[in-house]
Structure 1
Amino acid sequence: MKSARNTGLFQTIPKDLTTLKATLDRAQAAGLKVVITPLSLPGMRWSQNNGDRFDDRLWQDKEFWAQSAAFWRDLADALKDHPAVAGYNLINEPAPEKLGGLAEHADSVKMHDWYKKQVGSARDLPALYTTIINAIREVDPLTPIMVDAGWYGAADAFTYWPAPLADTRVLYSFHMYEPYAATSSPNLKRAKPYTYPGIVPFGIGKEKWDKKRVDTYLQQPLNWAKQHAIPTNRLAAGEFGCVRKLPGCHQYLEDVLTALDAAQVHWAFYSFREDSWDGMDYELGKEKVPWPYWKAIDDNRPDPIKRHATPEFEPISKRLGNNQ
């Protein structure tokens, strides 16, 4: 199945589409709803499938915008009537700023100044989203659409957006792994890992990260939404988490969830019974997984490790109630 407006540089692979639809069928049978979220677009290949190299082509050449819009038009046309589909998230963790001259977690003045220079260019993320949304709406006027903030979905990266997108069926998504220097798996390899709460590198310096700092950081997308009269029910923390062996992971998850619940925004944690990486599978606690876990991955068999209640998972499980 090729796109009718295909440039010739991408095509829909029927076998892959069949696999996707079969997965959606299983989700529907299990009573689950799914947000379709690609890790790659034409011109933006996911680094883990690209030799760990960041692919910046989408942010340099609008030809890839046209291909991305055609990709999404085809995908929406194929999936719009599937009952398991709850929404489309246009791309996971875009980062047009990364090689575009804007430092991660720059202050608001620098963010605004940077964006003024990018308006109309290939690094104009809101304009890319508008291009893709218009293509989707040609075939699917109803399915809700989610858009991630820039700089890998950072909660402070909506700051430079001058306005919300025109489509009223859009939700604005951010991810929360800050301070990344502490919450990510490389931290555990340090001679002395950063802890939470604690002093952690962030932006151009170091800061004390605790409940108060989590609250102030997560207030930024709320402030942006309020400024533009966007209801909080159109905000979503599309991902959040910390490596489960982090000293203080339980407290970090509790602090993040307390802030999100107080704001009454949607949230989804990463990750629930991950099938290829144990780092943020909180039901495993802080212990190393045994060899059968990895052997099952190698053999393409179901994960054999029984999950159980753990302090790490408790902040999440108590909020899930009887829905686990």
Structure 2
Amino acid sequence: MNQKRLAVFAVILTILVTACIQQPPEENISPTTPEPSSPPPETTAPETTPPETPSETEAPTETPPPTQPQPEPGDKMDLWDMKTGPHLRGANIWQRRVYPELDGPTFMGTDYIGPPSTQEDFYKLASLGCNYVNISHPGLFTEKPPYELDERVQDHLDRLLAMIEKADMFAVISFRTGPGRSEFTFVSEDLGDWFDESYLNDSVWQDKEAQDAWVAMWEYTANYYKDNPIVAGFDLMVEPNSNETGSHYLYDYLDIWDPEEFYSEYGGSLYDWNQLYARIITAISSVDPHTPILVGGNGYSSIEWLPYVKVVKDDRVVYMIHQYAPGQYAFQQPNSQKCSYPGLCDVNRDGQKEQLDRSWLEELLSIIDEFTSRYRVPVAVNEFGVSRWVPGAAEFMDDEMGLFEEKGINNALWEWQVWEPFSEKVNHLNFLFGPDSRNTTEVPNELKDVITKYWSYNIVRPSTFHSNPEIYTSESSLSPDVLLNPFSYWLSRNPRLNWEIIEGNSNELETMYDKWAILLTTVTYSVYNYLVFIFAI
């Protein structure tokens, strides 16, 4: 039986290899869109019959070369399908408005928004295997009334998306700030250290006008970006936190961390993120019924608050969490490390140490299992991470990302940051720098190896994403993404070549892509199907 299988396989492989080395007919490999300046191929008329001369008023009719049919764009919700996923594995970039009086001349860069990101930064990220950037970014409207479009923020986001598209990655637009909410809500505990009260703004949690403007901001944003092919989702608010800050850190501080307690007292009020996000979804759907919408819960979108998110009747919503638990382990300082992984750790802050290992993580993430089972909705993790120097960081990340794989959860780690003046000072989650807290340059390290191992599973990219129901079947023994476009799989293993094709800098490579993409895709897919058939005999 084994000899039979090998014989059949050898014959098939010989045929396929022969097909690969033969030049395909020219008429079958013409580019989809002919160059306007290129004339059609000339033909020689028979000498016995002189060609007719067209009249001076009639232009000769040119027959355009045949074009290849274009696949339909894919349904972006398929990217978030947990049954066939994960399909998106990536990283966050973080940016905010620059305040020269606080930041100085270089720390955040010199632009209106910083820290800066360059095209090379995104090329490098893509070369590591990443196919998804979560853009943690200021909202398009001003933070203070009159709430209106901030064109400089919009222009900056446009440039970011263009660079990410050029690197052939998807993007999720996540708004950190907007009407009645400033960036300083995330660092309010530092009030008085490096900024004063005038920078605080959490009025969105008590100001109806600000909430109306937040709804209007997202309606405008969705309408503006709805046709952008790389935008895989809209994240409505990064880490809602009314449970802590209230409407003002100094004068309306709630500091409630028990979801039951919070919703029993403030459910249905302006403090309740559930009522605001539902309004935003209604507004977005009125202008864009297609782009996925990402929603995290209150409590900074921690997993404990996920069960308290009120699920809406909209099949384009992806619910998500930010996963940094246990913080007692993940955010240890270099000179004060009391937990290791795996090992004992006081994860509940009750003075009792528990075993922290893969089983602990599995139990924590079971909250997602219960939520998806109950509501039949997808869940993603679009922030997670661990300080690079904590004991066992690589093993911790390996277990966590492995669980994401098992559950089909898209994920984006925090963060991708290579602006040197910033990363020299803020780098505890920068996986490029290795476990030595004193090091601020890229070095080989185990944590990076773990992360890029999982990123290497990425196949689907904007350039290859199209509608094909067959790729989203759980029966496949390969990743569904491989079946989406085997040529993309080959390119993903050759990132430098991929960059050349994306950039269009090499005529030779462009010609190769035009002539061989369809053939190579067909051959690769055929080999896979024949192998499945042979070993099923």
Please give the range of the TM-score, normalised by the shorter of the 2 chains. 0.7 to 0.9
Query: Structure 1, residues 207-238: CA drift from partner, whole Å, max 9, x if none?
Result: 422221111111112212212232xxx11011
Say whether the 8 Å CA contact 2:431–2:447 is kept in structure 1: yes
Give the structure 2 partner of residue 218 of structure 1: 365
Give the structure 1 partner of residue 412 of structure 2: 268
Q: Distance in 1 between matches of 2:217 and 2:349?
A: 35
Residue 58 of structure 1 and its aligned partner are, at CA, apart by: 2.0
Give the structure 2 partner of residue 194 of structure 1: 339
Q: Distance in 2 between matches of 1:43 and 1:166?
A: 27
My pick for the range that moved more, 173-182 or 94-103, is 94-103
Residue 130 of structure 1 and its aligned partner are, at CA, apart by: 0.6
1:310 corresponds to 2:445: yes
Q: Distance in 2 between matches of 1:260 and 1:19?
A: 32
Residue 157 of structure 1 and its aligned partner are, at CA, apart by: 0.7
Say whether the 8 Å CA contact 1:144–1:171 is kept in structure 2: yes
What is the SS of the residue equivalent to 2:363? helix
Q: 1:192 to 1:22 in 2, by over 3 A?
A: closer
Q: 1:11 to 1:279 in 2, by over 3 A?
A: same
Aligned positions of 1:74-113 closer than 5 A: 74-99=220-245, 103-104=256-257, 106=258, 111-112=259-260
Residue 317 of structure 1 and its aligned partner are, at CA, apart by: 1.5
Q: Distance in 1 between matches of 2:182 and 2:319?
A: 23
Give the structure 1 partner of residue 397 of structure 2: 253
Say whether the 8 Å CA contact 1:237–1:266 is kept in structure 2: yes
Residue 203 of structure 1 and its aligned partner are, at CA, apart by: 5.5
Match of residue 57, structure 1, among 189, 203, 214: 203
Q: Distance in 1 between matches of 2:156 and 2:291?
A: 21
Q: 1:191 to 1:281 in 2, by over 3 A?
A: closer
Say whether the 8 Å CA contact 2:181–2:202 is kept in structure 1: yes
Give the structure 1 partner of residue 483 of structure 2: none
What is the SS of the residue equivalent to 2:303? coil
Q: Distance in 2 between matches of 1:50 and 1:251?
A: 29
Q: Distance in 2 between matches of 1:10 and 1:310?
A: 46
Percentage identity across paired residues of the two chains: 23
Say whether the 8 Å CA contact 2:379–2:409 is kept in structure 1: yes
Q: Distance in 2 between matches of 1:15 and 1:7?
A: 16
Aligned positions of 1:1-324 closer than 5 A: 8-47=145-184, 52-53=190-191, 55-99=201-245, 103-104=256-257, 106=258, 111-112=259-260, 114-161=262-309, 163-184=310-331, 187-188=332-333, 190-196=335-341, 197-202=343-348, 206-208=352-354, 209-230=356-377, 234-275=378-419, 276-277=422-423, 278-288=427-437, 305=441, 307-321=442-456, 322=492
Say whether the 8 Å CA contact 1:126–1:165 is kept in structure 2: no
Say whether the 8 Å CA contact 2:290–2:316 is kept in structure 1: yes
Query: Structure 1, residues 157-178: CA drift from partner, whole Å, max 9, x if none?
Result: 11223x4122210101101111
Say whether the 8 Å CA contact 1:102–1:114 is kept in structure 2: no
Q: 1:21 to 1:204 in 2, by over 3 A?
A: same
Q: 1:84 to 1:98 in 2, by over 3 A?
A: same
My pick for the range that moved more, 197-206 or 262-271, is 197-206
Say whether the 8 Å CA contact 2:236–2:294 is kept in structure 1: yes
Residue 289 of structure 1 and its aligned partner are, at CA, apart by: 5.9
Residue 204 of structure 1 and its aligned partner are, at CA, apart by: 5.2
- Cα RMSD (Å): 2.8
Q: Count residues in correspondence.
A: 296
Q: Distance in 2 between matches of 1:50 and 1:9?
A: 25
Q: Distance in 1 between matches of 2:448 and 2:385?
A: 11
Aligned residue identity for 2:203? R
Q: Distance in 1 between matches of 2:163 and 2:337?
A: 44
Q: TM-score, normalised by structure 2?
A: 0.51
Q: Distance in 2 between matches of 1:22 and 1:112?
A: 42
Q: 1:55 to 1:76 in 2, by over 3 A?
A: same
Aligned residue identity for 1:283? L
Q: TM-score, normalised by structure 1?
A: 0.81
Residue 8 of structure 1 and its aligned partner are, at CA, apart by: 4.5
What is the SS of the residue equivalent to 1:174? strand
Using CA pairs below 8 Å that are at least 6 residues apart, which structure has the higher relative contact order? 2
Residue 82 of structure 1 and its aligned partner are, at CA, apart by: 2.1
Aligned residue identity for 1:279? H
My pick for the range that moved more, 245-254 or 134-143, is 134-143
Query: Structure 1, residues 284-314: CA drift from partner, whole Å, max 9, x if none?
Result: 2113466xx6xxxxxxxxxxx4x45421122
Say whether the 8 Å CA contact 1:35–1:88 is kept in structure 2: yes
Query: Structure 1, residues 102-159: CA drift from partner, whole Å, max 9, x if none?
Result: 743x4xxxx3453243232012222111111112222222111101122111012112
Q: 1:64 to 1:190 in 2, by over 3 A?
A: farther
Aligned residue identity for 2:153? D
Query: Structure 1, residues 39-98: CA drift from partner, whole Å, max 9, x if none?
Result: 112222122787645744222233321111111122222222222211110111111222
Aligned residue identity for 2:449? E
What is the SS of the residue equivalent to 1:47? helix
What is the SS of the residue equivalent to 1:238? strand
Q: 1:50 to 1:198 in 2, by over 3 A?
A: closer
Residue 241 of structure 1 and its aligned partner are, at CA, apart by: 0.7
Say whether the 8 Å CA contact 2:175–2:236 is kept in structure 1: yes
My pick for the range that moved more, 54-63 or 16-25, is 54-63
Aligned residue identity for 2:181? M
Say whether the 8 Å CA contact 1:179–1:201 is kept in structure 2: yes
Larger gyration radius, structure 1 or structure 2: 2
